[in-house]
Chain A
Amino acid sequence: MKKILLMLLIVAIFVSMTGCWNMRELNELGVAVAAGIDITEDDLLELTVQVVVPRRLAQEGYEGNAVITYTTTGRTVFEALRKLTAIASRKIYIGHIQLLVIGESFARKGIMDAIDFFERDHEFRRQSYIIVTNGLTAKEVVEAGSIIELIPAIHLTKAIDNAIYSGATRKVSLIQLFKETNKVGHHLVLPTIHQRIEKDPELAKDLRVTGTAVFKNDMLVSYLDEFETRGYLWITNTLEGGILVLPSPTSKEELISLEIMKSEGKMRIKKENDQLYLMVEANVNCNIGEQQTPTTLTSMEMIDYLINTSREVIKAEITSAFKKAQDELQLDIFGYGDLLKKHYPELWMVHQEDWDSVFSSLPIQIDVDSKIRRSGQLLQPTLPK
């Protein structure tokens, strides 16, 4: 008797205490896959959302994109999002947003106005990619269609996934953004998307994911081009791959491509005689991928030549990134401040306030080690006899 009452009570507590609620059938939801944020001329946030049209997904032989985009404005992101429900017939579900596009205009004003909502909302997907536009609005990116994919957002996320192998940009998910924002002695660097053609882009293939955007605190201040971005990636050890193009030993016109197989970068900060040095070590393994010159590159001298030249190229890339950060921007985009805090906490306490200016004046030491591993299927190139 007591046992049964106890059981009843336990069950009652289990049921009433917590549980999953807010039951929604899938066909009552509008699944958002991409969102873009711009700022309008009258200083309002403009939210553009790409929503899946499931009917078209299921429709056989449908040519075109199974999405529709909605645009609203509001003073805050949440307000704009709620306004969407009045436009779309379905409740917009943001749990599966794959791509968050930050418009250039909005980025220049400071992204934290929007990021707080995405960080706070329990539904928003933390694995979604974040990208900043360069030379176009977020609305244009979100509205761009795709020929190869039914859902254009997938086209763009795949493009981001693959772009990192060209070594021209980095990949940042929302959770990574939250982490990096909360770190001290370091400034945000986010990937960018460009326009490839002159006229307004209609399709995702008119866009290109390359380069990075540099933020001071939460405001966009400058862009890094591909060359500088590669330098940034070498330093922060986030390079996933890429091609090194070298001049051939015989002529500047003829070129050699090296494929980066494995790269390891290491940032260090060193104190010698009261002087701080910023140090970078990079170890790279390359394969010969292509040559335009008829010379046989597999001899010892030629390998030495390749090693030395590739070191020069990599060094130049790293130097250019440092030059941009120290001379032009005067911002520690690499995170040396974080290293200083870890290794020399007392120095960090001193320099904490004006670290960026201290960083800009510090000497750098670059040490690159390159190795050539393989030459593909050839030992020497085929030549017309």
Chain B
Amino acid sequence: MDVILRRLAGVLQYLKYNTPKHIHTELSALQYGDNIPVSLEEAEAKLREILHNDESLILRPLRIKAFNHRALIIYINGLTDKKSIEVNVLRPLMTEEPPEDFSYCTNKEIINSLINEYIQSLDCIVEASLNAMIEKLMEGATIILLEGEATAIIVNSIEWTTRGVTEPETEAVIRGPREGFTEDILTNITLLRRKIKSPKLTFESTSLGTYSKTCVTICYLDGIADTEIIKELKKRLAAIKIDTILESGYIEQFIEDYPLSPFPSIGNTEKPDVVIGKLMEGRIAVLCDGTPFVLLVPRLFVENIQVSEDYYTRSLYATTLRFLRVFALFISTTLPALYVSIQTFHHEIVPFRLFIALTAAREGIPFTSVVEALMMVCIFELLKEAGLRMPKAVGQAISIVGAIVLGQATVEAGIASPLMVIVIALTAISSFIIPALDGTIFFLRIAYLIAGSIMGFYGITLAIVVTLIHMCNIKSFGIHYLSAMIPIPQSGLKDSYIRAPLWSLFFDNTSVSSSGDENPTND
């Protein structure tokens, strides 16, 4: 017995999850030697070797007319704005007349002269390291090498096609800005800068991923965001050891507080106005190149019932919607459990007429009600998943199969009762109201359903109490997950269960902060 308990405790201890361990062993960074070969032929051979004779590596030899000096323009086809290089680099180099004192020039002076007088590009630097040069080349820069010189001129001419700023599909609004982030981090930063014209809006970039070198930028409002949280976020970002980052979800999973909790402790959005709203509340955004999803920390539970539109519509209406969302949260997690426990345990609490209707609906169903409920919940999740993954053209088939075959036919075949179909439909609709918690809600729904089917209302209450205890325990970057909701604070209440009029919110200085919390992190 003692041994079993010890084992169990050991497993639980493991599950508790401490700070992330080094998941990836240190990859041997891409080392190619530090010196750029002096001879152009050698440099060409070296580059071809490093890039495995890639077709898209273009090497264009030329003679600089002004200095009568051999040079090599290197770029990667497709990443570079060729027109701009032709007009601003190639043409001056090949056509401009030499300066007056041309004969005394050393290589260093030629390079200075080229940068200062010939190359007409905004972003132009000199680089002596081969590694750095290759990194820049892979990013899309154009490199000019001179014969007999070990430094390279790097002209930034990155250009590739990006998606335009469009309305995000995940966060539709009726009222509010329709622009959404794109995959390009520069565009995203621009979208943010355009909304706040103040130098207080701070961006700090790092690159993450041994291979991908993805640009990750944290963004906050200096003076509003809590420095402790910024420090903690930077610490966690620096600890990430990964080869590639394809989406901000990668970062999220490395820096979140409770990876095993069903509740997400990091938010994300596709909309610049949402990000700015959160930044003004003292949150910090993490932008990641290559994805329109921007992370926001810390994430509190109350944010699940807040929608950007709440602040754009009148407060009375917004407040009503807030209550509706809390109700939807309750319905979508507990309704199947309540229905099943009423069916199996609590026959006496149903009004008589409804009870008679229930018995009539249940008649002839071969399964127990918990099996029936689990089956219908799973069928709905399957449908939802299929609807997401199917190509749009075949999407209609899903709705036909879902609505007619599964909805109607299960009832007609006597496998599920019509009331169960209504319960599941209501649950499904409610869960769409809070899309951010979609996975959480599904998990809780199944958990409550099982608890309710074993122990009735008592079991559901128990499961809800356990959930609440867990929610009270977790923190997001040192902030209690339930703050602004529990215990009901007077100032926090203005923007949690209700949405007070804006004029009363703006005078309120409450923002997300770890002050007053003795141990903000590492709980």
Contact = CB atoms under 8 A, between A and B. Distances in A.
Given A26-B347, A95-B348, 5 more contacts: A15-B462, A19-B459, A31-B356, A55-B364, A96-B347
Interface in B314-360: 341, 343-348, 352, 355-360
Nearest to B365: A27
Nearest to B363: A54
Contacts of A26: 343-344, 347, 358-359, 362, 369
B369 A25 contact: yes
Contacts of A54: 359-360, 362-363
Interface string B454-475: 0111110010001000000000
27 contacts: A1-B13, A4-B12, A8-B8, A11-B466, A15-B455, A19-B455, A19-B459, A20-B346, A23-B344, A24-B347, A25-B344, A25-B368, A26-B362, A27-B359, A27-B363, A29-B347, A29-B359, A52-B356, A54-B362, A57-B356, A57-B363, A58-B360, A58-B361, A58-B363, A96-B347, A96-B352, A96-B355
Contact of B348 (A11, A21, A58, A123): A123
B5 interface: yes
Contacts of A11: 466
A227 interface: no
A21 B457 CA distance: 10
Nearest to B350: A96
A95 B359 CA distance: 13
A357 to B, nearest CB: 44
A210 B12 CA distance: 69
A201 B363 CA distance: 31
Interface residues on A, range: 20 to 34
A11 B469 CA distance: 12
Contacts of A21: 455
A68 to B, nearest CB: 14
Interface string B277-296: 00000000000000000000
Given A20-B341, A20-B457, A5 B5 contact: yes
A169 interface: no
For B9, B355, B360, B362, the residue with the greatest tally of chain A CB atoms inside 10 Å of its CB is B360
Identify the 9 closest CB pairs spanning chains A and B, nearest first.
Answer: A20-B456, A57-B360, A54-B363, A26-B362, A95-B348, A58-B360, A54-B359, A19-B455, A20-B345
A29 B350 CA distance: 15
A251 interface: no
B8 to A, nearest CB: 8
Contact of B359 (A15, A31, A123): A31
B452 to A, nearest CB: 9
B514 to A, nearest CB: 23
A57 B13 CA distance: 55
B355 A14 contact: no
A23 B345 contact: yes
A18 interface: yes
Contacts of A19: 455-456, 458-459
A29 B5 CA distance: 42
Interface in B94-122: none
Contact of B459 (A20, A22, A31, A58): A20
For A11, A15, A27, A52, the residue with the greatest tally of chain B CB atoms inside 10 Å of its CB is A27
A348 interface: no
B362 A25 contact: yes
A25 B361 CA distance: 12
A255 B469 CA distance: 73
A20 B356 contact: no
Contacts of A277: none
Interface string A6-49: 00100100110011111111110101000000000000000000
A151 B458 contact: no
Contacts of B462: 14-15
Contacts of A146: none
A24 B345 CA distance: 6
A258 B398 CA distance: 67
B352 to A, nearest CB: 6
Contacts of B344: 23-26
Contacts of B466: 11
Interface in A80-105: 93, 95-96, 98
Nearest to B353: A154
B347 A95 contact: yes
Nearest to A30: B359
A16 B100 CA distance: 98
A95 B355 CA distance: 11
A27 B360 CA distance: 9
A125 interface: yes
Given A27-B365, A57-B360, A93 B455 contact: no
Contacts of B356: 31, 52, 57, 151
A4 B361 contact: no
Given A5-B9, A18-B458, A123-B348, A31 B363 contact: no
B458 A25 contact: no
A27 B362 contact: yes
Contacts of B455: 15, 19-21
Contacts of A18: 458
Nearest to A157: B352
A98 B352 contact: yes
Nearest to B460: A20
Nearest to A123: B348
A151 B353 CA distance: 10
Contact of A20 (B5, B343, B357, B458): B458
A148 B358 CA distance: 21
B360 A22 contact: no
A31 B358 CA distance: 11
Interface in B360-409: 360-365, 368-369
Interface string A310-324: 000000000000000
Contact of A52 (B12, B359, B457): B359
Contacts of A24: 344-345, 347
A7 to B, nearest CB: 9
Contacts of B341: 20
Contacts of B357: 57
Nearest to A56: B360
A26 B363 CA distance: 8
A1 B456 contact: no
A299 B457 CA distance: 65
A4 B473 CA distance: 13
A29 B345 CA distance: 12
A4 B458 contact: no
Interface string B1-21: 000010011001100000000
A158 to B, nearest CB: 11
Nearest to B469: A7
Contacts of B346: 20
Nearest to B459: A19
Contacts of A31: 355-356, 359
A54 B466 CA distance: 38
A31 B357 CA distance: 12
Nearest to B453: A23
B359 to A, nearest CB: 4
Contacts of A151: 356
B458 A55 contact: no
A54 B365 CA distance: 12
A57 B456 contact: no
A260 to B, nearest CB: 30
A302 to B, nearest CB: 47
Given A26-B358, A27-B363, A27-B364, A93 B347 contact: yes
